[in-house]
Amino acid sequence: MPPVVRAEPAADRPTGGRPDPTIPAISLRGLRKEFAGGVVAVQDLDLDVAEGEFVTLLGPSGSGKTTVLRLIAGFEQPTAGRVALRGRDVTGVPPFDRDVHTVFQDYALFPHLSVLRNVEYPLRIAKVGRTERRERALEALATVRLEAMAERAPTALSGGQRQRVALARALVDRPAVLLLDEPLGALDLKLRERMQVELKQIQRASGITFVLVTHDQDEALTLADRVVVFSDGRVEQAGPAAEVYERPATAFVAGFVGTSNVLGPALIGRDGTWSVRPEKIAVGPPAESAPAGHTSVPGTVAELIYTGPTTRCVVELEAGGQLTALLLNGATERPAPERGEPVRLSWRPEHEVRLHDTPQPENP
């Protein structure tokens, strides 16, 4: 384990001027974390996060994403490798000496303090004067559109409002990086969707680098400038949300980020393993010819799953196996097929994505 090095106190760090945009806000090199019993949570990770970027770390439980967040925050120390913030090596530096704040799922607000005093709290610890403290706290509350509730108790707020207070408190002393550990996980679906929009707007308004951990693929795609997909302690793929969804690199990414159909050589007549998303597949009558150049396969509808805006159509193929197509309800005058009805599936070849067995080299 690296020695713990005490950096200069946060209040004494140089301030003023703008960060150098050519230097990553976060730089991880050769990062590895092993726990007792030889459990490897993070495997030799290289990753850069640009200044002002919103990145989501996405993966199932145990994939290593939360461990990476804790390594950046300083709550865990790496077994090997280096953590740098704005070019400053903070490996071994304790959490209170890193220019980073973390927002957790439980908010951790003080119930006996008003909203304003909760937000002021980090500035009180840093011995900022009363007038400046109040001004900056109100400014942070304005960023999350809660300045009108400054004198209320946290217990008088809704779950979404308490989450925004926690964000304001984390933003008030203008950290270089804001880390968010499943911050919306305790909210109901409607509130979580609304908070996703607000969180993206807050990040854009503040210009602060955000790194959010989630296992919710929709949340990751909605929020992020870039999605980093983890599996078994390593990065399977990292890239813009649209790229990760539309061009998954591995079968794991194709299956975890959305729903995907995996195609083999017997079905498409080419070597390798390929993926096609359900919404790219057209469903038509069995006698209908597919457009020139399209891949076309016959089958029988095995299941129809109505979800409101769409219906998932599971088709048993004549050649063996199943494919799932996504029908947009009401989008055409053609009636949806019924269970047991023969159909023909077709899709354009450019929607077939070649999958690899292992994660591809990443340009951090």
How confident is the model over 280-323, as pLDDT tens digits? Answer: 999 999 988 888 889 999 999 999 999 999 999 999 999 889 99
CB 30 within 8 Å of CB 44: yes
β-sheet with 88-89: strand ranges across: 39-49, 26-35, 80-85, 88-89
Determine the pLDDT at residue 11: 37
Mean pLDDT score, 190-196: 84
In whole angstroms, give the CA distance from residue 305 to residue 231: 29
- Partners of 227 in the β-ladder: 56, 239
In CATH terms, is domain 259-355 a member of 2.40.50.140?
yes
In the predicted structure, residue 2 carries a pLDDT above the cut 60: no
Determine the pLDDT at residue 364: 43
Determine the pLDDT at residue 14: 39
User: How does residue 184 score in pLDDT terms, banded at 50, 70 and 90?
Assistant: confident
* N residues, the chain: 364
Q: Which residue has the higher pLDDT, 53 or 195?
A: 53
User: How does residue 359 score in pLDDT terms, banded at 50, 70 and 90?
Assistant: low
DSSP annotation string for 120-189: HHHHHHTT--HHHHHHHHHHHHHHTT-GGGTTS-GGGS-HHHHHHHHHHHHHTT--SEEEEESTTTTS-H
In the predicted structure, residue 29 carries a pLDDT above the cut 90: yes
Determine the pLDDT at residue 4: 34
Neighbour tally for 176: CB within 10 Å? 18
In the predicted structure, residue 8 carries a pLDDT above the cut 60: no
Q: What letter does residue 21 receive in the DSSP assignment? A: T
In whole angstroms, give the CA distance from residue 169 to residue 163: 10
In the predicted structure, residue 221 carries a pLDDT above the cut 90: yes
Task: Give the residue extent of every domain in the chain.
Answer: 10-251, 259-355
CATH class of 10-251: alpha beta
Give SS3 for 363: coil
